[in-house]
Amino acid sequence: MELSKLTSPKLISTKLKLRSKQEAIEYLVNQLADEGKLSSRYDFLKAVNEREELSPTGFEGGLAIPHGKSKAVKEAAFAVATIETPLTDWESIDPANRVELVILLAIPDEEAGSTHLALLSEFVTRLSDETYKERLLNAASSEELYSLLDVVDAPEETREIEDTGKVVLAVTACPAGIAHTYMAAEALVKAGKELGIKVFVEKQGANGIEDRHTSKRLQSADAVIFANDVAVKDESRFAHLPKVKTSVATPLRNAKGLLEQAVEKAEKSPKRVYEEQSATDDAQDDQEHKPFKTEIKDSILTGISYIIPVIVAGGMTLAAAVLISQIFNLQDVYAEEGSWLWLLRQLGGGLLGQLMVPILAAYMAYSIADKPALGPGFAAGVAANLIGSGFLGGMLGGFLAGFFLKFLKKKIQPKGTFAGFISFWVYPVVGTLVVGSIMLFLIGEPLAWINNGLINWLGSLSGTNALILGAILGAMVSFDLGGPVNKAAYTFCIGAMASGNFIPYATFASVKMVSAFAVTGATIIGKKYFSKQEQEIGKQTWLLGLAGITEGAIPFMINDPIRVIPSLVAGSAVTGAIVAYFDLGLNVPGAGIFSLALLKGQPILLAAGIWFGAALIGAVISMFLLIVTRKSKLSKEENLAA
């Protein structure tokens, strides 16, 4: 690969007097923009900064390779700067790293899995040669550095290293799945050549699993090294091998030490007989446990990543069914069991009402205790649905399943003749029975009592000030977005409707739009405070809100409940109070924008304006609070980092 084709002397600067990491990044972004490589320097800078939040892009030996993937990049390019006074504030895998060579990669979105990885891999390979790196650092001008980019020395004749006969496998994986994954792999292979050890590395990165270990390798290997900051996929393949577990950054500092440790383990406790799909053997795992707080965070993020496609697909399908029925006056078809519109409604509703919570619980459990926790995790999610606990109950079930299976795997380890029985019967069956029973009988009963208590309490308020009742109903609707508190409000509203009081359900239907509208507004107006993933979700939640679907806001609530719940509750309470105050009524179950044509209590146009306007007012309040609280959170994190 010719590096010089992706840059120019104008994108290269030498001996700059820069004072901080951010100043260096902004300088190189401006260079790329000035050379016409970017359509928006702001959007690209944002993409680079978001990548910086994932994991360090500083390495060791004075090197940093920040990078950004963005639609704002017109064509793949990179800019280079050497720094006169090394920077000390660049987060690096080597804490002592002082950055003096910065290479900023600018990659279009559509080339993320091709040019990005090829360019990064090429730089990693070349910069692992100290001579090459020193030549770049010592270049006196941009033209000289540019001319040296593709000057690669032929490999030196090295003395023959005696083959030890040892074979060590490795798996590398980092959160972003790019830089550290490949650099760690390169370091291990290089160290293996110097020690006479055959090293094969499987990279679990942005392109999925690359160089996957074959059965032949798994049979011949003596040990395995896991250098990872995220869960290793299909870890059970390595159950027969002695293991060394570490972070993805460690091979860059001490690859030889890791290989020597792996060989020493292999000599002290030799590998067992390899069996296809054998379960993970934690007895030989000397893994340094993650801090509890980190484990909880990783579990939540894993669950969110798996439910987002379900929420989007289910929500949009259900929204289409609702809107079609209301636009074309097909409510009878919508309600008729077995009709095409009823089936479409069931498909979308099933994804949200039946699948979402079990998937959330299962993959939260998977993050904590790996594959054996999937069965109990799904069971916990199904139990959460049965007791009507919503996504909050699903999260609790995911934690229960994950930590119980983690405990079970330590106490009952798959060994000898019964290894398969333990892995494929004991873990899933015992885990499901224990976790499912806790959810159904220990959590379910109190939850039902709380639910009935809330309904009775609301009934006692029905004769009081409408403002208070409306505000309480509004707060309950958005408190857990479909959980027990929300369902208590819904049950009360349906009961009130059956008794001839139509005001509570009109309040309920209006408030159901608030959370979705607020999320969309926050991710558009406060775009810079939210991740790209959150922005993509936000683009669609408003449409779900029009159909009266609240689930679009669930990923935001799971990720930051302390700030998001009060923000949504505040706006929803205002909406509920407004609708109830004006005595608006709705005598048809259902929710969505077309309910405004069925409102009672005021002239139709006035009623529609108040009902929908109340939802917008509440959404604006919640949107403002979402932005302010997120901004505050980010500021605190920056101060802590500083």
Would you state the torsion angle of the CA atoms of residues 617, 620, 624, 625, taken in this order, to the nearest 10 degrees? 60
Catalytic residue among 67, 116, 180, 240: 67
Q: Does the pLDDT of residue 176 top 70, yes or no? A: no
Query: Strand 167-173 vs strand 223-228: parallel, antiparallel, or unpaired?
Result: parallel
Q: What does the pLDDT look like over 192-248, one tens digit per residue?
A: 988 999 999 998 865 557 788 988 899 899 999 998 877 777 787 888 899 999 887
- Give me the residues paired with residue 198 across strands: 167
pLDDT of residue 290: 61
Model confidence at 120, pLDDT cuts 50, 70, 90, reads: confident
Q: Does the pLDDT of residue 317 top 90, yes or no? A: no
pLDDT over 70, % of the chain: 91
Mean pLDDT, the chain, integer: 84
Higher pLDDT, 372 or 642: 372
Instruction: Let me know if 174 is a catalytic residue.
Output: yes
How deeply is 599 buried, as exposed, middle or buried, from its count of CB atoms within 10 A (0-12, 13-18, 19+)? Answer: buried
3-state SS record for 458-473: HHHHCCCCHHHHHHHH
Mean pLDDT value of segment 527-539? 84
pLDDT of residue 156: 55
Q: What does the pLDDT look like over 629-639, one tens digit per residue?
A: 999 988 887 77
For residue 340, give every residue at least 6 positions away whose Cβ sits within 8 Å of its Cβ, in sequence order, or none. Answer: 333
Mean pLDDT value of segment 79-97? 87
Amino acid at 70: S
Mean pLDDT value of segment 575-579? 94
For residue 510, give every residue at least 6 positions away whose Cβ sits within 8 Å of its Cβ, in sequence order, or none. Answer: 575, 576, 579, 584, 611, 612, 614, 615
Cβ pair 277, 520 in contact under 8 A: no
Mean pLDDT value of segment 97-112? 86
Would you state the torsion angle of the CA atoms of residues 302, 384, 553, 330, taken in this order, to the nearest 10 degrees? 130
pLDDT of residue 92: 81
Model confidence at 549, pLDDT cuts 50, 70, 90, reads: confident
Classified as helix, coil or strand, 104 is strand
Least confident of 55-69, 283-297, 449-463, 562-576: 283-297
User: In the structure encoding, which two tokens stand for residue 612, read together?
Assistant: 């929908």
Half-sphere exposure of 569 (CA within 13 A, CB side): 14
Cβ pair 526, 631 in contact under 8 A: yes
DSSP secondary structure letter of residue 112: T
Instruction: Let me know if 67 is a catalytic residue.
Output: yes
Query: Strand 99-108 vs strand 77-87: parallel, antiparallel, or unpaired?
Result: antiparallel
Cβ pair 313, 349 in contact under 8 A: no
pLDDT of residue 510: 93
3-state SS record for 47-80: HHHHHHHHCCCECCCCEECCEEEECCECCCEEEE
Amino acid at 628: V
Q: What does the pLDDT look like over 29-41, one tens digit per residue?
A: 999 999 999 999 8
Cβ pair 243, 226 in contact under 8 A: yes
For residue 445, give every residue at least 6 positions away whose Cβ sits within 8 Å of its Cβ, in sequence order, or none. Answer: none
Cβ pair 350, 359 in contact under 8 A: no
Classified as helix, coil or strand, 517 is helix
Cβ pair 81, 23 in contact under 8 A: no
Cβ pair 2, 115 in contact under 8 A: no
Higher pLDDT, 120 or 528: 528
pLDDT of residue 502: 87
For residue 389, give every residue at least 6 positions away whose Cβ sits within 8 Å of its Cβ, in sequence order, or none. Answer: 396, 439, 443, 444, 447, 483, 484
Q: Does the pLDDT of residue 287 top 50, yes or no? A: no
pLDDT of residue 237: 87
Q: What does the pLDDT look like over 503-528, one tens digit per residue?
A: 899 999 999 999 999 999 999 999 98
Q: Does the pLDDT of residue 417 top 80, yes or no? A: no
Length of the chain counted residue by residue: 642
pLDDT of residue 281: 38
CA distance linking residue 339 with residue 373, whole number of Å: 38
The neighbour count for residue 308, using CB atoms within 10 Å, is 18
Q: What is the pTM of this model?
A: 0.54
- Please give the domain boundaries of the chain with CATH numbers for all domains: 4-149 (3.40.930.10), 167-268 (3.40.50.2300), 298-448 (no CATH), 463-641 (no CATH)
Element (H, E) at 324: helix 292-327
pLDDT of residue 31: 94
b/e sequence 77-109, b meaning 16+ C-beta within 10 Å: bbbbbbbeeebebbbbbbeebbbbbbbbbbbbe
Q: What does the pLDDT look like over 234-283, one tens digit per residue?
A: 787 888 899 999 887 788 778 889 999 999 999 888 888 877 654 333 33
pLDDT of residue 177: 53
Cβ pair 8, 35 in contact under 8 A: yes
Model confidence at 601, pLDDT cuts 50, 70, 90, reads: confident
Nearest alpha carbon to residue 175 among 124, 228, 211: 228
Amino acid at 243: K
Half-sphere exposure of 69 (CA within 13 A, CB side): 16
Model confidence at 533, pLDDT cuts 50, 70, 90, reads: confident
CA 321, distance to chain mean position in Å, is: 29
Model confidence at 641, pLDDT cuts 50, 70, 90, reads: low
Catalytic residue among 174, 213, 240, 493: 174
CA angle 412, 416, 420 (to 5 degrees): 70
Model confidence at 590, pLDDT cuts 50, 70, 90, reads: low
User: In the structure encoding, which two tokens stand for residue 332, read together?
Assistant: 């009878």
Element (H, E) at 497: helix 484-498
Q: Does the pLDDT of residue 416 top 80, yes or no? A: no
Amino acid at 170: A
